[in-house]
Amino acid sequence: MEDMGVTPDAAADWSGRTVFLTGAAGLLGRAVGAQLASEGASVLGFDNAWGHLHPRLRPDGIEIVDGDVRDGPLVATVLHDTAVDTVIHLAAQTLVGPAVGDPVNTFSNNVEGTWTVLEACRGATSVTSIVAASSDKAYGDWSGRPYREDMALRGRHPYDASKAAGDLISQSYAATYQLPVAITRCGNLYGGGDLNWSRVVPGTIRSVLEGSPPVIRSNGMFVRDYLHVSDASLGVLALAREARRRPEIRGEAFNFAAGVRATVLQVVGTILTLMHAPLDPIVLNEELHEIPDQRVSYARARRMLGWHPRQTLDTGLREAIGWYQDNLRLVA
Ligand SMILES: NC(=O)c1ccc[n+]([C@@H]2O[C@H](COP(=O)([O-])OP(=O)(O)OC[C@H]3O[C@@H](n4cnc5c(N)ncnc54)[C@H](O)[C@@H]3O)[C@@H](O)[C@H]2O)c1
């Protein structure tokens, strides 16, 4: 596909729209919901964990809807009754460790959840744009070669395979039913508001704020592309806008990444430096079922969506550290 000359301004399209946002209580969901609400959209924030989130962390201006994405009749009713025009499907069991411990729960949430939402969209005539979240982990292990969207999905471990399955299912709904669905494949997300403490950024910042050394489960040498959640949110919204406007976007996947590789030890070291913390990480060197080296090319998103990352690792980590300094007592 060629560059279609889009403008990078993703903002203009949201006033008056009704958006069904799954996973709205999560890291990316809260960022996307807040951004949409600030741009004038009516947002139905759908999640099965609102009850676990401190009320002050709920994004302003969105309607809270409790529910499970595997509940097809409920999802179909919400889409129909509120004449939703945009569906952004982010809900998933997102943690790699629990996915290894309970693959069935992960496949159920991530695969059945995806087909259930898409099937409801298929029956909803008002829906004109859908974004489904896959992951860079869907590509699996390519020995550090930069992931490009035309590479095969080789996810091997349960979380990775669940995202690859949801990705392919989304592609099939576009190809077979002409559903206007496009797919995101983001690098490792981080930013203020991530309450998944087993992830390296929130886990490390919380340890430092509590005065204890951060614990690294791996050998610290896994390489990831760390993308700030605000950049991922802009990417999701740009893709939702373009999936509505441009049929050639439908069924297509887009990588979103910062374009910077860092080891876990480097990220932890940067956080310790920014927080002026005289602590040494504890490296457990456990065997983890994870891809050792991930690199992500976002060339296609830049070319076709006009998207590029705005945060550096330094500015993004400063934002995250500030958030936990202000809010840790609410969420720890
Ligand atoms: N965090 C990352 O590094 C990353 C990277 C690439 C892709 N992704 C994908 O982006 C999306 C958002 O990730 P995140 O970091 O915000 O995750 P998160 O874990 O912070 O949020 C996910 C949300 O989905 C909700 N959820 C899970 N199962 C549900 C169900 N059956 N019904 C309703 N709600 C359910 C959870 O309660 C949670 O609020 C996910 O699809 C994830 O796979 C995340």
Closest residue CA from atom 39 of ligand 1:
26
Residue 3 pLDDT class (50, 70, 90 cuts): very low
- Give how far Cα 81 sits from Cα of 20, 31, 86, 151, 295, Å: 12, 25, 14, 39, 42
Secondary structure (DSSP) of 273-303? HHTT-----EE------S-SB--B--HHHHH
Sign of CA dihedral 77, 80, 81, 83: positive
Q: Do 15 and 40 contact (CB within 8 A), yes or no?
A: yes
Residue 258 contacts residue 294 (beta carbons within 8 Å) = no
Phi, psi of 281 (to 5 degrees): -65, 150
Q: What are phi and psi of 135, to 5 degrees?
A: -160, 155
What pLDDT score does 12 carry?
61
Nearest alpha carbon to residue 46 among 243, 238, 59, 191? 59
Cα separation, 27 vs 33, in Å, equals 10
Query: Is pLDDT above 70 for 1?
Result: no
Rounded (10°) angle between helices 313-331 and 200-209:
60
The alpha carbon of 107 and the centre of ligand 1 are apart by a number of angstroms equal to: 13
In the predicted model, what is the mean pLDDT of the chain?
Answer: 94
Angle, helices 313-331/264-274, rounded to nearest 10 degrees: 70
Compute, in angstroms, the gap from residue 29 CA to the centroid of ligand 1: 8
10 Å CB burial of residue 309 (0-12, 13-18, 19+) is buried
Whether 84 has a pLDDT exceeding 80, the answer reads yes
Q: What is the pLDDT of residues 149-158, one digit of tens each?
A: 999 999 999 9
**Ligand 1 nearest atom to the CA of residue 163, by list position:** 43
Beta 63-66 vs 129-133: how paired, if at all?
Answer: unpaired
pLDDT computed for residue 286 by the predictor = 87
The residue nearest atom 7 of ligand 1, judged by CA position, is 135
Q: Which one-letter DSSP state was computed for residue 255?
A: E
On the question of pLDDT at 307 being above 60, the answer is yes
50 Cβ contact list (under 8 Å, min separation 6): 25, 58, 64, 66
Nearest CA to ligand 1 atom 18: 26
Determine what percent of the chain is predicted with pLDDT higher than 90.
89
Rg of the chain over Cα atoms, rounded to whole angstroms, equals 19
Nearest atom in ligand 1 to the alpha carbon of residue 89 is: 41
Which residue is listed with tokens 């087993």?
198
pLDDT tens for 182-212 read 999 999 999 999 999 999 999 999 999 999 9
- What is the distance in A from the centroid of ligand 1 to the CA of 67? 14
Q: CB within 6 Å of ligand 1 — which residues?
A: 22-23, 25-29, 47-49, 68-70, 90-94, 109, 113, 133, 135-136, 163, 186, 188-189, 196
Report the pLDDT value the prediction gives residue 13, as an integer from 0 to 100.
Answer: 87
Count H helices and E strands in the chain, helices first: 11, 12
Taking a C-beta distance cutoff of 8 angstroms, is the pair 182, 255 a contact?
no
Rounded mean pLDDT of 217-233?
95
CA 60 – CA 232 distance, rounded (Å): 19
Model confidence pLDDT, tens digit, residues 157-168: 999 999 999 999
Nearest CA residue ID for atom 43, ligand 1: 94
**Ligand 1 atom showing the smallest separation from residue 136 Cα:** 6
Tokens of 73: 């009749």
Q: How far apart are the first and last CA of the chain?
A: 46
* pTM listed for this prediction: 0.96
Q: Which has the closest alpha carbon to 94: 46, 159, 153?
A: 159
190: annotated active-site residue: no
Q: Is the separation of the CB atoms in 124 and 79 below 8 Å?
A: yes
Q: Which two tokens stand for residue 321?
A: 């550290």
Annotated active-site residue in 139, 147, 159, 298: 159
